[in-house]
């Protein structure tokens, strides 16, 4: 039997904003009823101020899923969309006074629904066809490689049990456990490479390498690819510059609309996909220089 905080119980028995907004101008759908949990988040956003004036949710799931969804709406009403997109699943957990480890995936579902609603409001299409984020890992819960990768990376997960608690992947049969371990190892290795790259870059240097003469063929190729990608980011008010490139890692500096919690992750994922396809091998892409340093 799991121990639930009084706040979790309160939000389960007395959920806030359990409704569908008829005048919603932002909608986020995540999960699947066939897999056990589903959530629709609807928002009413003032288009002049970008403030979330109202929020509603419809959840199919357990008590923790309902409580997490209720808490999510309470946390975001009154915030601007920019402020809301910084919300993490851990903040939902903290607001509820904690969740059992086995129910952490409920808070993740809430954060993902918010991400989907923000993308919907901004006219960004989140592709979800045939598991476009990566190959299917967990067939029992229809969870792909991309979702597991993000959960491991954002929450510093290190074991299969952690992944089960945050995503449900691997929680039924055990046939996908080896693949999950491979994703965990990949994330840990990528973080080590990122740390090593950051140590190799002078912290006082803020000048993008793209403004310097290319020093090798790889850098030239990366700059060429980046030149083709920048217009897409600039069209949405963002930009990117190259900081460092090697055969094992590309370090970029995002600015403008490309910065911010969730949008940064989405942009880096898109850049990594484009670079890997153009170069012919999988290569991590990380953001190094904060926007403030580029002023």
- Let me know: does 250 contact 275? Beta carbons within 8 Å: yes
**Can you read off the two tokens belonging to residue 82?**
């920019």
Per DSSP, the residues of 86-99 read T--HHHHHHHTT--
Which one is catalytic: 35, 62, 140, 261? 35
Cα(17)–Cα(41) distance, integer angstroms: 10
Which one is catalytic: 106, 138, 176, 258? 106
Residue 294 has φ and ψ, to the nearest 5°, of -90, -5
Clarify whether 35 is annotated catalytic.
yes
**Of 22, 29, 113, whose CA–CA distance to 68 is shortest?**
113
- Let me know: does 159 contact 177? Beta carbons within 8 Å: no
- Let me know: does 138 contact 177? Beta carbons within 8 Å: no
Beta pairing class for 52-60 and 136-138: unpaired
Q: Which residues are the active-site residues?
A: 35, 106
């Amino acid at each position: 039997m799991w121990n639930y905080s009084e706040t979790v119980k309160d939000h389960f028995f007395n959920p806030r904003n359990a409704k569908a907004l008829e005048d919603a101008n932002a909608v986020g759908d995540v999960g699947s009823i066939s897999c056990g949990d589903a959530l629709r988040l609807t928002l009413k956003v003032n288009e002049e101020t970008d403030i979330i004036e109202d929020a509603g949710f419809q959840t199919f799931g357990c008590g923790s899923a309902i409580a997490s969804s209720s808490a999510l709406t309470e946390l975001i009403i009154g915030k601007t969309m920019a402020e809301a997109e910084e919300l993490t699943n851990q903040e939902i957990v903290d607001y509820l006074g904690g969740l059992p480890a086995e129910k952490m995936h409920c808070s993740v579902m809430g954060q993902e629904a918010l991400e989907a609603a923000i993308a919907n409001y901004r006219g960004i299409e989140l592709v979800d066809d045939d598991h476009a984020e990566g190959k299917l890992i967990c067939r029992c819960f229809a969870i792909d490689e991309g979702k597991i990768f993000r959960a491991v990376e954002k929450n510093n997960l290190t074991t299969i049990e952690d992944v089960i608690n945050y995503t449900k992947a691997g929680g039924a049969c055990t046939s996908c456990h080896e693949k999950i371990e491979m994703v965990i190892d990949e994330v840990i290795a990528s973080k080590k490479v990122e740390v090593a790259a950051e140590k190799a870059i002078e912290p006082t240097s803020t000048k993008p390498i793209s403004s310097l003469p290319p020093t090798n063929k790889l850098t030239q190729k990366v700059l060429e690819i980046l030149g083709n990608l920048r217009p897409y980011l600039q069209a949405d008010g963002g930009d990117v510059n190259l900081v460092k490139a090697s055969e094992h890692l590309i370090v970029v500096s995002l600015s403008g609309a490309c910065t911010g919690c969730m949008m940064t992750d989405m942009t880096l994922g898109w850049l990594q996909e484009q670079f890997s396809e153009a170069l012919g091998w999988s290569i991590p892409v990380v953001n190094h220089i904060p926007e403030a340093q580029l002023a």
